[in-house]
C-alpha cells in the first residue's frame, strides 16, 4: 500500500504515542524497583534511579514470604496447566471433528461460561470445596483453575485441530492404521506445538490469577504470589513503594518470559479459532 509522506509521518507519530502509552507504566515500575529509599522519599523522583540498588529486592524478600508464594504459584499453575491440557485436548478434537450435539453443547458452554460473574461461581464452589475439605489447599485451587482455564484452552485447541488436515488422518486409516494409532502417530505430533502453547497459556493465566486465590487460600503459607503481593499494601492503602515495585517486577518476569515464547502461537491460535470459517 502506498502512503503519502505526510501520512507516513503521522503513522509513525501515532505509533510512537502508542509505544509511550504502553511502555511508560512498566518502565516506571522497573525504575522504582531500583531506586534507593532516599530517592523514593524525595519529592522529585526522576525517570532513572540515581544510584541503582538492590535494597528494595532484599527488603521485599525480608518482609513477605515471596519464595514460598512463588513456589505455591508454580505448583498451582503447572498442575492446572497440565491437567487442563490433558482434559481439553481430546474434547477439543471431538469438537473440531464432529458435529454432534455434545460438541455443540460444549461450544455453548465455552461461550456462556464467559458471561457469568465469578461471584456466582465462587460461592457454590466455596461451599462444595469446604465440604470436600479443600478450602485453603493448593489441590482445591488447582481444581478450580483447571475448569477456569478450560474454555480458552478448548477455544485455542479447536483451532489447532482444525488446522490439521483430515485427509492425513484418512490416509492413515486407508493404510490400515487403527483409530488410536492414527491419533497417536499422525494427529498428536502435528498438534504438539499447539498443545504446548495452550498449556503455557493456561500456565500464565493461573500464575496471574487473583480472585479465586484470594477467596480460597486463607493462611499465608498457602497463598500464591498475587495474593502475597497485595500484602505489601497496608490496610490504609499506604504502601512501601520500593519493595512493592521490586516484588511486582519479579512476579511479572515468568509471565513475560513465557508469553514471549508463545506470543506468535497465541496470535495464530486466535486467528484460526476466531476467523477461519
Partner 1 sequence: MSLTTEGRGSEGRGSEGRGGARRASGTGPPRDLVSHGAWFLVLPALLPILVLSVGPLLYGILLAFTDAQSGRTEPTQWIGGLNFRDLGHDTLFWESFRIGLVWAVGVTVPQFLLALGLALLLNQELRLRWLARALAIVPWAMPEVVVGIMWRLVYSPDAGVLNETLRDLGLGDGRDWLSGLATALPAVIVVGVWAGMSQTTVALLAGLQNTPRELHEAAAVDGAGAWRRFRTVTWPALRPVALAITALNFIWNFNSFALVYVLTSGGPGGRTRLPMLFAYEEAFRYGQFGYAAAMGCVMVAVISVLLALFLVGRLRGGDRA
Q: What is the sign of the dihedral through the CA atoms of 109, 113, 116 and 120?
A: positive
Among 150, 161, 202, 217, binds partner 1 (CB under 8 A): 150
Q: If binding is defined by CB under 8 A, does position 55 make contact with partner 1?
A: no
Judged by CB, which is closer to partner 1: 195, or 245? 245
160 and 272 in contact (C-beta within 8 Å)? yes
Q: If binding is defined by CB under 8 A, does position 161 make contact with partner 1?
A: no
Restricting to residues 165-184, name those near partner 1 by CB under 8 A. 166, 170, 173-174, 178-180
Q: If binding is defined by CB under 8 A, does position 185 make contact with partner 1?
A: no
- Burial (0-12, 13-18, 19+ Cβ within 10 Å), 35: buried
Q: If binding is defined by CB under 8 A, does position 88 make contact with partner 1?
A: yes
Judged by CB, which is closer to partner 1: 54, or 127? 127
Restricting to residues 225-254, name those near partner 1 by CB under 8 A. 225-226, 229-230, 232-233, 237, 239, 241, 244-245, 248, 251-252
Q: If binding is defined by CB under 8 A, does position 119 make contact with partner 1?
A: yes
Among 3, 52, 181, 193, binds partner 1 (CB under 8 A): 3
Least distance to partner 1 from the beta carbon of 87, Å?
A: 4
Least distance to partner 1 from the beta carbon of 54, Å?
A: 18
Q: If binding is defined by CB under 8 A, does position 45 make contact with partner 1?
A: yes
Among 97, 136, 163, 190, binds partner 1 (CB under 8 A): 97
Judged by CB, which is closer to partner 1: 68, or 211? 211
Number of helices (H), then strands (E), in the chain: 13, 0
Q: If binding is defined by CB under 8 A, does position 206 make contact with partner 1?
A: no
Contacts of 44-47 spanning 24+ positions with Cβ under 8 A: none
Q: If binding is defined by CB under 8 A, does position 193 make contact with partner 1?
A: no
Q: If binding is defined by CB under 8 A, does position 133 make contact with partner 1?
A: no
Q: If binding is defined by CB under 8 A, does position 70 make contact with partner 1?
A: no
Judged by CB, which is closer to partner 1: 118, or 168? 118
78 and 142 in contact (C-beta within 8 Å)? no
Judged by CB, which is closer to partner 1: 108, or 193? 108
Question: Segment contacting partner 1 (CB under 8 A): 50-58, 60-68, 186-194, 207-215?
Answer: 207-215
Among 9, 67, 118, 168, binds partner 1 (CB under 8 A): 118
* Tally of CB atoms within 10 A around 144: 24
Amino acid at each position: 500500500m502506498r502512503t503519502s509522506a505526510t501520512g507516513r509521518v503521522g503513522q509513525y507519530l501515532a505509533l510512537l504515542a502508542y509505544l509511550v502509552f504502553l511502555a511508560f507504566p512498566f518502565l516506571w515500575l522497573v525504575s522504582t524497583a531500583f531506586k534507593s529509599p532516599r530517592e523514593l522519599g524525595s519529592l522529585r523522583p526522576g525517570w532513572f534511579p540515581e544510584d541503582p540498588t538492590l535494597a528494595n529486592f532484599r527488603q521485599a524478600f525480608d518482609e513477605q514470604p515471596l519464595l514460598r508464594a512463588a513456589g505455591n504459584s508454580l505448583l498451582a499453575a503447572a498442575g492446572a496447566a497440565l491437567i487442563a491440557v490433558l482434559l481439553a485436548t481430546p474434547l477439543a478434537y471431538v469438537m473440531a471433528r464432529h458435529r454432534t450435539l455434545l460438541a455443540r453443547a460444549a461450544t455453548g458452554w465455552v461461550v456462556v461460561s464467559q458471561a457469568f460473574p465469578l461471584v456466582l461461581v465462587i460461592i457454590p464452589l466455596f461451599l462444595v470445596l469446604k465440604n470436600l475439605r479443600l478450602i485453603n489447599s493448593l489441590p482445591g485451587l488447582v481444581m478450580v483453575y483447571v475448569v477456569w482455564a478450560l474454555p480458552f484452552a478448548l477455544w485455542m485447541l479447536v483451532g489447532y485441530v482444525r488446522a490439521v488436515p483430515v485427509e492425513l488422518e484418512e490416509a492413515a486409516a486407508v493404510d490400515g492404521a487403527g483409530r488410536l494409532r492414527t491419533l497417536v502417530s499422525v494427529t498428536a505430533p502435528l498438534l504438539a506445538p499447539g498443545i504446548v502453547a495452550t498449556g503455557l497459556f493456561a500456565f500464565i493465566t493461573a500464575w496471574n490469577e487473583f480472585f479465586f486465590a484470594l477467596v480460597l487460600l486463607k493462611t499465608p503459607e498457602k497463598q500464591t504470589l498475587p495474593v502475597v503481593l497485595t500484602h505489601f499494601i497496608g490496610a490504609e492503602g499506604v504502601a512501601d513503594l520500593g519493595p512493592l515495585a521490586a516484588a511486582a517486577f519479579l512476579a511479572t518476569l515468568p509471565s513475560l518470559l513465557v508469553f514471549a515464547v508463545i506470543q506468535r502461537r497465541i496470535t495464530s491460535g486466535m486467528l484460526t479459532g476466531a476467523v477461519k470459517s
